[in-house]
Amino acid sequence: MTEREARWRGSVSRRKALAGLAAFVTGSEHLHGQRDLFRDHSRVAGLDEMRDVFDFEAAAYERLDRATYNYTARGGGSEFTVRRNRDAFDWVDLVPRAIGGPGRPETSLDILGTPLQFPILLAPSAAHEALHPDKEEATYSGCTEASATPMIVSHVASMPFADIAKANGGPLWFQLYPSSELEQNREPLVSAQNAGCGAVVVTIDQQASFYDREVHDRNLSLRPRRPARYSGSAGRYRFASRRMWYEWRLFEGLRTMVNVPMLAKGILTREDALLAIEHGLDGIIVSNHGARTLDYTPSSLEVLPEIVEAVQGRIPVLADSGFRRGSDVLKGLALGASAVCLGRVPRWGLGSFGPPGVARILEIVQEELAESMTRCGTASLAEVGPSIVRTHFP
């Protein structure tokens, strides 16, 4: 090898030079916002620029790591029901009045002894620690700021119910994933009631055995990788059995531990609604778990009217799954819901701007609801009914 060839082989190639330049530019402190691989811009809008609830989803996407965002976004199976939950609102039209109701409509009510300034609650959701360092306490702070919106605290929250309640804010309810060993339910139920929970919500639908997104991309899950508890050889098909034991008589045992109103969450049929009444439930929540359970189920909005008709006003009927806007809330109320629960939406607010984000989202939905009621000529919740909507469900 000649001296010239040796120098050539040891010199920096164009490819290496470009790679070094790229590394230098990427590491610049002036480009610290360029962390997102999935968007074509880097600027995250500020809280004062948020005009729509869906603005918060984009902000949360920008601020959160991919696994955390997808934990909130995903649904069961192929996510057909995730899409159907939103499509359902396109199948319900609001009927405006040429001249709306005078003044601001009355939106306050009482549900099972809990006062609400608006017919809106926060649905239970897990792992707020991944969204904000102050966990569910931050969410609760945002709820309290937004007209003391009631928060349903998840059984699998990042912090104990009693610690959240210490903040002394708005109303709190507690959501329970029941254990098959009845006595194991006593401690969380007693602890929540001692801390002042106004109602207990028992989730009775099934968690999804798998999520297609998680199966095909292991980086999408917040959950640690550990062997699931499967039933026999079905494990190879991801069939989890840990919540396949539920029976209606469960509520007879839970009632001995619960001294506050108790609701069943996960009702999608008139038959189950009637069974809930038969077994002494004080209320029900029409829900498909935000489409995170069995895929290809109907949306909550579709089945709401038949369930309300079956219940005949004997107990309050709440609804969740897919609600995003104030007009969505009004559609749910017109179809018979006493109130609506928001799940993913406040998580967007918490993940993007913390407690102020939660408060701003709730305030936007509240104002949208009031405006929609006015445009439909309804001066109070008592005037909201089927006459202000037209449905064309498939």
What tokens appear for 325 in the block?
A: 């806007």
In a domain, 90, yes or no: yes
Report whether 173 contacts 193 (CB < 8 A). Answer: no
Q: Of 155, 216, 289, 392, which residue is the catalytic one?
A: 289
Alpha helices in 226-325 (DSSP H): 250-255, 270-278, 300-311
Q: Is 210 left (phi over 0), alpha (psi -120 to 50) or beta?
A: beta
In a domain, 372, yes or no: yes
What is the domain range of residue 102?
Answer: 69-391
DSSP, res 282: S
Tell me: the pLDDT tens digits for 218-247? 555 565 544 444 444 444 445 555 666 788
In a domain, 315, yes or no: yes
Give pairs for 55-58: CB < 8 Å, separation 24+.
Answer: 56/345, 56/348, 56/349, 56/352, 56/353, 56/357, 56/360, 56/361, 57/348
In a domain, 19, yes or no: no
Tell me: the pLDDT tens digits for 56-114? 999 999 999 988 998 899 888 889 999 999 999 999 999 999 887 778 999 999 999 99
Alpha helices in the chain (DSSP H): 3-10, 14-26, 53-63, 66-73, 80-90, 135-145, 161-165, 186-194, 212-216, 250-255, 270-278, 300-311, 326-334, 344-353, 355-375
**pLDDT given at position 225:** 46
In a domain, 54, yes or no: no
Tell me: the pLDDT tens digits for 270-305? 999 999 999 999 999 999 999 998 889 999 999 999
**pLDDT given at position 72:** 92
**pLDDT given at position 145:** 97
Q: Is 183 left (phi over 0), alpha (psi -120 to 50) or beta?
A: alpha
What is the tally of structural domains in the chain? Answer: 1
Please identify which residue in the block is written with the tokens 């407690």: 355
**What Å distances lie between residue 64 and 30, 70, 135, CA to CA?**
20, 9, 14
**pLDDT given at position 305:** 98
**pLDDT given at position 5:** 66
Run of H or E including 110: strand 109-111
Amino acid in the structure at residue 26: T
- In CATH, what number is assigned to the domain containing residue 378? 3.20.20.70
Active-site residue flag, 289: yes
Residue 195's CB is within 10 A of a number of other CB atoms, namely 17
Q: What is the pTM of this model?
A: 0.85
Tell me: the pLDDT tens digits for 173-187? 999 999 989 999 999
Whether the predicted pLDDT of 339 surpasses 80:
yes
In a domain, 326, yes or no: yes
What tokens appear for 52 in the block?
A: 């729509």
In this prediction, residues 359-385 reach a mean pLDDT of 97
In a domain, 238, yes or no: yes
Mean pLDDT of the chain: 88
**Residue that wins the pLDDT comparison between 23 and 340:** 340
In a domain, 84, yes or no: yes
